[in-house]
Amino acid sequence: MTTFTIRPATTSDVRVIQGLVEPLVNQRILLGKDLVVFYEAVQEFRVAVTPEGQVIGCGALHVMWQDLAEVRTLAVASDWLGKGVGHALLDQIEHDAHTLGLERLFCLTFETAFFTRHGFEPVSDELVDPAVFAQLSLSPDEGVAEFLDLSRVKPNTLGNTRMLKRL
């Protein structure tokens, strides 16, 4: 069995990350992003890489507030599904969250069984107090709007489950 490692993404990985995500966008599992958005967020990404250097998975940690971050863009190459790549990426993202001093991880997902196995639970209530909500609502980031469950992003989030894990 081929092994893989997890490392921080580099700018040379960005087009490969977009390629991993594109099939999931076409299936309406993940939201599409312009290439520039991937470049702007490259420092948030971790990638799973084979010994030969092939990027086989990706995931990102996006800090939203003092104690809160979102797991974003978790994707694995189809021929690597079921081989622990997604689990390893999420474990690394959680480790990174601990390192940053975060207390909660949020995700918006169709993959509820996967995230439940990692300790995430579905949530439907307000996740931040009104003062933090007011600050977060100033963010131009669509992911933050999804977290806040704002009406303008409802067409993007239909069928997804909002999940949270306390670290």
Q: Give mean pLDDT, residues 59-79.
A: 94
The strand pairing partners of 68, in sequence order, are: 65, 104
The strand pairing partners of 60, in sequence order, are: 45, 72
Identify the pLDDT of residue 79: 96
**Order of strands across the sheet that contains 161-166:** 5-8, 45-49, 55-65, 68-76, 104-109, 161-166, 121-122
Rounded to whole angstroms, the Cα distance separating 141 from 5 reads 30
Question: pLDDT tens, 82-134?
Answer: 999 999 999 999 999 999 999 999 998 989 999 999 999 998 766 666 666 66
The residue with greater pLDDT, 79 or 136, is 79
